[in-house]
Amino acid sequence: MTVSSFQGSIFALTLYDVCDEIDLSQLPTLISAKRLVPAFKHTTPEYVRFESPPVTETLGLVALDGGEQFEGTMQYYDYGVVSVLLERPYSGSWRELHELSARWISSVLFEEFTTRLVQQRLANLRPALRHPYPSFLSEDYYIFHLCPFEGLNAEQLILQNGQGISQLIRGETGALSIDERDDVLEARMSYYANDLTVVGWNAAFIYDTPAGADSIIRLLEYANSQLLQFRHYDELLTRELKEVYSFMEARQGKWRAWRMQPTVARLRTVRLEVTQLTEHTTNALKFVGDMFSARLYKVCAEKIGVVEYQELVRDKLRTASELYGFLIDEFQQSRMFLLEFAVVIILLIELFYFFKGGK
């Protein structure tokens, strides 16, 4: 069966890392918001849950500078991330969807609009923000959702429109090579015969009911929020390690180890802080008993880049631990040298007075 026109929705997701932590308990008194209760399609809610569910604020109908209108929602995560999800209904052909995808993915309209929106909201949320950042890291992601068409299952959709799905995820209007198409379609999953999810690094395609698509969108949003956090930790550790290397190269003299105390203390603080925050971010969403959602999240994390950045952060934490141990050892050696030197001085003074008294 060949389908020329589909119904569905298109989502533009933009996330910002705005502070160390957001006190979610204060948000309902500052804005009109509620806690998210995730509903996954094939398991009981208590087995797939947030440790601290994000707070959701409904924005209603919003318009971009170009006049395009979207239904908007914002979500606030306790680890300092704010997301803006803009949704627009879609009805049309694959070609029209490709053109829309290429235009949106290459555009900065969404980021400009959502940046202003987030800055306006945060101005009213200062009491709930812990250590706000002067500038924000951001991530953008696009989701193309089509509702199932009667008589067209996932395998048939891949056979008929596999090339179109790959173009959509890459934001291209022209046909991709076979290798590129296969690379895109490799990251696909289905639970039922008539649903399909294909995940790319900056966009995803969902063929499912609106209820089924909603849970997948939440997983994609959570994976992007993790990516943003690990990018932040990676940049933080890079700056700290660079300062430590510069200090180690510049210091001179026998007493140089005594000047390293502020550097050692700062490195220890950053190492412990990043370790604690990465554990909090990683454990924010629990999968117990829902293997499909766990596997889907794993695919999302790998394709979006969470796993790669997580490993970068782990490597830099190991490097920070090794440097911390090295600096502490050198400090201890310098302290022992100073103590030994002091003992020698005291001994010489005692000998001086002993022989002086003997005369």
C-alpha to C-alpha distance for 202 and 110, rounded to whole angstroms: 14
Q: How far apart are CA 195 and CA 191, in angstroms?
A: 7
Give pLDDT, residue 52: 75
pTM value surpassing 0.85: no
Q: E strands, 238-326, where? A: 285-287
Residue 112 pLDDT grade (very low, low, confident, very high; cuts 50, 70, 90): confident
| Cα–Cα–Cα angle for 235, 232, 36, rounded to 5 degrees | 175
Distance CA 43, CA 47 (A): 7
Instruction: Name residue 117's amino acid.
Output: L
Q: Which of 28-37, 173-182, 233-242 has the lowest mean pLDDT?
A: 28-37
**Which pLDDT score is estimated for 342?**
75
Is the per-residue pLDDT at 168 higher than 70?
yes
Contact 15, 224 (CB under 8 A): yes
Average pLDDT, the chain: 82
Residue 29 has pLDDT above 80, yes or no: yes
| pLDDT tens profile 230-280 | 898 888 888 888 877 777 666 555 545 555 566 666 667 777 777 776 776
User: pLDDT tier at 224 (50, 70, 90 boundaries)?
Assistant: very high
Render pLDDT for 54-72 as a digit per residue (tens, 0 to 9).
899 999 999 887 788 999 9
Q: What is the pLDDT of residue 281?
A: 65
Question: CA-to-CA distance for 171 and 289, rounded, in angstroms?
Answer: 35
Among 253-267, 287-301, 317-331, which is the least confidently predicted range? 253-267
Identify the helix (H) or strand (E) that includes residue 9: strand 6-22
What are the structure tokens assigned to 204, written together? 């995803």
Q: Is the pLDDT of residue 170 over 60?
A: yes
Distance CA 248, CA 257 (A): 10
pLDDT tier, 227 (very low <50, low <70, confident <90, very high otherwise)? very high
- Where residue 6 falls among pLDDT bands split at 50, 70, 90? confident
Instruction: Kindly tell me if the per-residue pLDDT of 44 is higher than 50.
Output: no
- Give, as one character, the DSSP assignment of residue 174: S
Distance of alpha carbon 23 from alpha carbon 54, whole angstroms: 10
H/E segment holding residue 62: strand 55-63
The residue type at 199: V
267: which 2 tokens?
């490195």
Element (H, E) at 84: strand 81-92
Pick the more confident residue, 321 or 179.
Answer: 179
The predicted structure's pLDDT at residue 132: 93
Please state, in angstroms and rounded to a whole number, the distance separating the CA atoms of residues 321 and 271: 7
| Cβ partners under 8 Å of residue 41, min gap 6 | 191, 211, 212, 215
Task: For residues 146 and 140, give the distance between their C-alpha atoms in angstroms, rounded to a whole number.
Answer: 20
Lowest-confidence pick of 157-166, 170-179, 275-284: 275-284
The answer to whether 184 and 171 have CB atoms below 8 angstroms apart is no
1 — pLDDT class (breaks 50, 70, 90): low
Q: Which residues contact 67 (CB under 8 A, 6 or more apart)?
A: none
User: For 97, what's the count of Cα atoms within 13 Å in the CB-facing half-sphere?
Assistant: 29
